Structure 1
Amino acid sequence: MEKQWFTISVYSENHVGLLHRISGIFLKRHINIESLNVSKSEIDDVSKFTIVVYTTERWTTHIVAQIEKQVEVIKAYYHTDDETIYQESALFKIASHLLFDERQIQNIIKDSHSQIVTVSRDFFVLAKTGRRHEIDQMYQELEPFGIMQFVRSGRITVTKAEMPISALLEKFQHA
C-alpha cells in the first residue's frame, strides 16, 4: 500500500489525559503526527481532535480503531485530502525596516494574500492562511530577508461529505 496524507477526526468528551493516550497510539506504531489541533466542535461539550498523518490506509484504519477504544472517544473518522477542505495559519515576525527598504517584501505580502497584523518600531507581523504548501512557499520567499519568528497552526478541516456524528449523538440522547 502506498503512503498518503490522512486527516483523522476524533470526537470526544473533554477529559484530562486523553491527548496523551491518543498520542501513545501513534508512538507505538512509529507514526509521526504531522499536525494536531484540538478545539470545540459543532456539538456542545464535545471536543474535536484533528490529526494529520502520512501513512498507509491500512495503518490509518488500525489507528482509528485503537482510538475508538478509548472510553472518552465518541467516534473517530479518517479522510483523504480530496475528501476535506482544510487550512493552516501562520505568523511571520520580520524586522520593520525591511517593510520600507525592500520592495520585494511588499510584493510577497500582496502576492501571497497575507495580512499585516501589527507594525512596531522593531518588527512587523504577517498572518497567512492557506494550504501547507502556500505557507511553505511564503516562508521560502521571506527566509532570505531574515525571519525573526515563525509559528504555524495545526490543520483545521471540514469534510466535503456530511459527518454523521451529530445524528449519532442524537440517537444516544433519545435512547
Structure 2
Amino acid sequence: MAERNMEKKWFTISVYSENNVGLLNRISGIFLKRHINIESLNVSKSEIENVSKFTIVVYTTPEWVHNIVGQIEKQIEVIKAFSHSDEETIYQESALFKIASSLLFDERNIQNIIKESNAQIVTVSRDFFVLSKSGRRSEIEEMYEQLKPFGIMQFVRSGRIAVSKAEMQISKLIKEFNQ
C-alpha cells in the first residue's frame, strides 16, 4: 500500500439514520474495536424530517475511515454515512466560559480578549459572567489560554458541527428509501 495512504489526518464522519435507541452504542463500539478514539461527537436532527445526523470527528488513516464508514452503514437504522477530510468541510465548535464578574470590570485585558476574539457576553450576574465563542477548535483553545490566567470558573466545548463543501446526495437517497 502507498505510504501516503497510511498518514493519519482529521476526518469528519456524517451518519444519517433513523433515531433508534442503542444505535449510538453500536456506532461507538465500531470505533472501540479498532482502538480509534472519537475526538468529537454531535447528534442532531438533520435537514431531512425524522432523520438524525451524527457528526463524528476522528484522527486516523484514510483506509481506516473507509472501513469504519462501511461498518457504520451495515447498521440497520443507518441510511447513509459519509467521510470528509477537514479540507472538504466547513466546520465549527462552540464554547461557554464562566468567569468571575469582578474581572469584567476590573481587568482591561478581559475586555480586550472578548473584543479581539469576537466572543459574546451571554449573561452577567453579580458573581459571574458567561462568554460564548464559536469557531475553529484552535480559536477556542487560544481564547481558553488567554483567559486561563484570570481564572475560568467553568468551561464547556461542543462537538464539531459540519457541512460538506460538496453536495451530498442524501435527499435523493431518502426519496428512494421512502419509495
TM-score, normalized by the shorter chain, greater than 0.5: yes
Identity across matched positions, percent: 78
For residue 24 of structure 2, the aligned residue among 13, 19, 26 is 19
For residue 100 of structure 1, the aligned residue among 101, 105, 110 is 105
Residue deviations 1:87-123 (CA, integer Å, cap 9, x gap): 1000000000000111000000000000000000100
CA distance in 1: counterparts of 2:68 and 2:164, whole angstroms: 19
Aligned to 2:159: 154
Aligned to 2:124: 119
For residue 144 of structure 1, the aligned residue among 134, 146, 149 is 149
SS of the residue corresponding to residue 153 of structure 2 reads: strand
SS of the residue corresponding to residue 147 of structure 1 reads: coil
Aligned to 1:45: 50
- TM superposition shift of 1:2: 0.5
| TM-score (norm: length of structure 2) | 0.96
SS of the residue corresponding to residue 154 of structure 1 reads: coil
Q: What's the C-alpha RMSD, in Å, of the aligned pairs?
A: 0.6
Structure 1 runs, 4 residues or longer, greater than 3 Å off? none
Letter of the structure 2 residue corresponding to residue 103 of structure 1: R
CA distance in 2: counterparts of 1:39 and 1:66, whole angstroms: 21
For residue 170 of structure 1, the aligned residue among 161, 175, 178 is 175
- TM superposition shift of 1:172: 2.5
CA distance in 2: counterparts of 1:172 and 1:39, whole angstroms: 20
Runs (5+) with no aligned partner, structure 2: 1-5
Residue deviations 1:21-61 (CA, integer Å, cap 9, x gap): 00000001010000000000000100000000001011101
Letter of the structure 2 residue corresponding to residue 60 of structure 1: V
SS of the residue corresponding to residue 143 of structure 1 reads: helix
Runs (5+) with no aligned partner, structure 1: none
Give aligned pairs, total: 174
